[in-house]
Structure 1
Amino acid sequence: MRLNTIKPGAGSKSAAKRVGRGIGSGLGKTCGRGHKGQKSRAGGFHKVGFEGGQMPLQRRLPKRGFVSLTAARKVEVRLSELDKLPVDDIDLLVLMQAGVVPADALSAKVVLSGTIGRKITLRGIGATKGALAAIEAAGGSVATA
């Protein structure tokens, strides 16, 4: 295969629509634009959402709520994931290095999913009531500060 022999796949390219070339073409005279009106004119367009001067829908409806930029950076960690870690003293940096949470995570919270069979200490990581009970039952502790 040479660069000068490469061709597009069969049927992938279609000829440009030639308008204004007579009645027989089906796109003669008005060129498929119909008669009169703004859309038939050269340069005739209006911005998206324009309703002819009527107050547009996006301005008639009230503004509501907001999207939190930090919500996606709060991560939930399962107890079973903590059980697999080789260290006993766990903080956010340890979780990042182990690949349990993404590198851009701002905070983490341990949830009761799975079991933990050894003593661990959480530092600076939140935990749900159930997870806290399971960690303390295994002899571990949670230091939130």
Structure 2
Amino acid sequence: MAKNLSNLRAPKKANTGRKRVGRGMGSGMGKTSTRGHKGQGSRSGSSLMRGFEGGQMPLHRRLPKRGFTNIFRTEYTVINLDRIAELGVTEIAQDDYKKLGLASSKKALIKILGSGELTSAMTISAHKFSKSAVEKIEKAGGKAVVLGGEPEAAKA
């Protein structure tokens, strides 16, 4: 059916006003003001925690806890060689990762992995390198510079 001025109408609930609670019997929401009769939800100041099940042991407490989260874990931003190769630059320093859109911040810890191939010689600075990444960078005639003063370049 074609839309024209004779059959235009507003979307559903577009014309419904706000629910005005506690304004007497004529409002259609009189007496209990949509709270029902008695019970916890009918009282003033009632607010239940998320997942409250009426006093029954809530689901998040019934299920067993598993595993362990190490709060001292160091997160590295992982970058593969093929992502770096397609940028077409000759040198990448720590500040460049953010500019090139490879890392979320300038201070992010970077680890270079050896997926992909390098065709041109590049000087790549990062906090960690995989062994295969170091081999491929040096095979292409480039240099893998470890940031943060770690002695071994290929520390995994």
Normalised by the shorter chain, which TM-score bucket? 0.5 to 0.7
Q: In the alignment, is the contact (CA less than 8 A) between 1:75 and 1:108 conserved in 2? A: yes
CA shift for structure 1 position 45: 0.8
The within-5 A match list for 1:44-55 is 44-48=45-49
Higher helix share: 1
1:5 corresponding residue in structure 2: none
Unaligned runs of 5+ in 2: 1-8, 150-156
The within-5 A match list for 1:55-134 is 65=68, 71=75, 74-83=76-85, 84-88=87-91, 90-134=92-136
Q: In the alignment, is the contact (CA less than 8 A) between 2:97 and 2:103 conserved in 1? A: yes
The within-5 A match list for 1:5-44 is 10=10, 11-17=13-19, 20-21=24-25, 25=28, 27=29, 29-41=31-43, 43-44=44-45
Q: In the alignment, is the contact (CA less than 8 A) between 2:123 and 2:143 conserved in 1? A: yes
Change (3 A) 1:140 1:87: closer
Secondary structure at the residue paired with 2:46?
coil
TM-score by length of 2: 0.56
Using the alignment, how far apart are the partners of 1:108 and 1:125 within structure 2? 5
Using the alignment, how far apart are the partners of 1:17 and 1:97 within structure 2? 51
Identity, in percent, stands at 33
Using the alignment, how far apart are the partners of 1:98 and 1:18 within structure 2? 54
Using the alignment, how far apart are the partners of 1:86 and 1:29 within structure 2? 74
Change (3 A) 1:21 1:105: same
Unaligned runs of 5+ in 1: 1-8
Change (3 A) 1:101 1:46: closer
Secondary structure at the residue paired with 1:92?
coil
Change (3 A) 1:66 1:56: same
Cα distance per residue 1:57-101 (max 9 Å; x no partner): 778987x75586973xx322221232233224x321233343433
Count how many residue pairs are aligned between Structure 1 and Structure 2: 131
